[in-house]
Amino acid sequence: MKRSPQQNYRATFVHSAKPYAAAGFTFVELVAVIVLISILAAIAAPRFFDLKDDAEAAALQALAGSFSAGVAIGKAQWIANGNSANSVTAVDQRVIIDGVGFNVNRFGWLDSTTLKESQDLTVTGQTARDCQEVFEYILQNPPRNTIAEDFESRRKAKYAVRVVEGSTSDRCRYELVVRAAQSPENAEFYFDYEMTTGRVTVNLPEGL
């Protein structure tokens, strides 16, 4: 019996579709692909985090450098005004940098910005807010920061600010918030600002 053109087309289509429908991964092949992807991810993940840590370290060091330069300008202006650690007057407890007035301690280092009736010239009475004021006004574009230590505040901030109290001198600590859930006491990326010497010291995880 002779087939019509429509019947020939239908038969050809059905015949050619059968091999296509059978194509695809078997269960074993699918498992093998998943295992391979997992192995590659396990190899690549540490390298990715290493690169991320390197980038964080570079950003922290750059910001610490800018901060250090800023407080050094304040100290230089304080000295230029005729002050020294042994002869500071109430009038010379402030310096002006780019139109912003900074309080200085008895060693000439920037302490805070809020004008107070009774200025504390000591280096052991620093507060987190004092440290935050220096951070926010000495930098041209200060990153978002917080003095709160709860998870939500740390999650929203780029830097966390706190005071590390010392027997002879306090330090302002500026932590780059890499892991918001991490306790501030266990921070790995940060720089400290010494209130007696003005020294800025960067701390990074071992190996960076």
Sign of the CA dihedral with 178 first, then 183, 186, and 191 last: positive
User: Which DSSP letter does residue 108 get?
Assistant: S
pTM exceeding 0.85: no
Q: Where are the domains of the chain?
A: 49-203
β-pairing verdict for 190-194 and 171-176: antiparallel
Q: Is the pLDDT of residue 148 over 90?
A: yes
Q: Is the pLDDT of residue 28 over 60?
A: yes
> Model confidence at 25, in pLDDT bands (50, 70, 90)?
low
Average pLDDT score, the chain: 83
Can you spell out the DSSP letters for 76-107? HHHHHTT-BTTB--GGGSEEEETTEEEEE-TT
pLDDT, residue 132, reads: 98
β-pairing verdict for 171-176 and 94-97: unpaired
Per DSSP, which regions of 31-178 are E strands? 94-97, 100-104, 110-112, 145-146, 159-164, 171-176
